[in-house]
Amino acid sequence: MGKDKVCELVKSTLESLYKDRIRPLANYVRGRFKEKASGSCADSVVRSCVDVCRQHPDLCTVENGATAEEATILLVTEPPWFKGWIDIDSTDDPYDESLWKDFEAFLETGPEFAGGRYGMARQLAQRELPFLKDRTLGEICHIVQLAVQHRKIIIYDRKILKSAALALTMTSDKDGADASDLKEITDMNQLSDVLMKILREKQPKGIRLDRMKNEIKQTGHSLNTKRFQCPKLIELFGLEPLKSTFQMDQEGDTFWIRPAGEKRST
């Protein structure tokens, strides 16, 4: 690509992120380079996007971050129409309850999304959904983040984002007819109590991770890790109170769960 075309690419890329209200970190700029270049952008330009931007100090400035991916690339002259960045990770929820109600109704139709939070936000924007009308891509990313982390109406399932309610229902259906006789564990404190009861009464030597769900069923309960935003069972033990209450040891290919600070008896 010639110098003029590279300059035009840098300018249009940064302006598009300002329009979306997504802070132009290096990884976003690199991804947008690929999108806007439509295959004409040399791989070297994409890979070295930060260095390319540094070569245009009249157009943009580069603020270094903790890593190269966290570098921020800003326009020297802020567009007059710019409304400020959206903090995608903010826990503040400024959106109307009507939006969340419509969002849940949409999710009940069963859509699934790949590409993480950003990928889902882009696909939602492309659908031109009425309840997201006039929302920037940055706002939609924030809405998806709140839906996953705080509203918990979206869940990760094998790297796919989908309705938490539908995912839980489908899992229950797969568990078979006996699942209706079991009481589902709904919070981490309850899960901690059930595991401690198993360890005290049935498995003083520890619980094998691969048999943990069956052990829980024997107490009249069922466990669906998706309820806790954990696609894998082992991830539960990175959350409190399990993290501080239990410890996990690996013996060969087997993981054992037992109370924190205790040695597994033989």
The token pair at 112 is 């699934």
> Rounded distance, CA 224 to CA 167, Å?
10
Residue carrying structure tokens 């809405």: 143
Token pair listed for 90: 């903010």
User: CA-to-CA distance for 117 and 69, rounded, in angstroms?
Assistant: 17
pLDDT digits (tens, 9 = 90+) for 148-201: 888 888 988 777 888 887 776 665 545 444 555 788 898 899 999 999 999 988
Tell me how far apart the alpha carbons of residues 252 and 104 are, in angstroms, rounded to a whole number: 44
The CA–CA distances, whole Å, from 98 to 7, 103, 105, 121, 124 equal 43, 8, 11, 19, 17
Q: What is the pLDDT of residues 56-86, one digit of tens each?
A: 999 999 998 777 778 899 999 999 999 999 9
What CATH number belongs to 3-75? 1.10.10
Cα–Cα distance, 229 to 152 (Å, whole number): 8
Report the run of H or E that residue 160 belongs to, with start and end.
strand 160-163
Regarding the domain delimited by 176-259, which CATH topology (the fold level of the hierarchy) does it fall under? Answer: Nucleotidyltransferase; domain 5 (3.30.420)
Q: What count of other Cβ atoms lies within 10 Å of the Cβ of residue 48?
A: 14
Model pTM above 0.95: no
- Mean pLDDT, rounded, of the chain: 86
From CA 170, how far away is CA 202, in angstroms rounded? 30
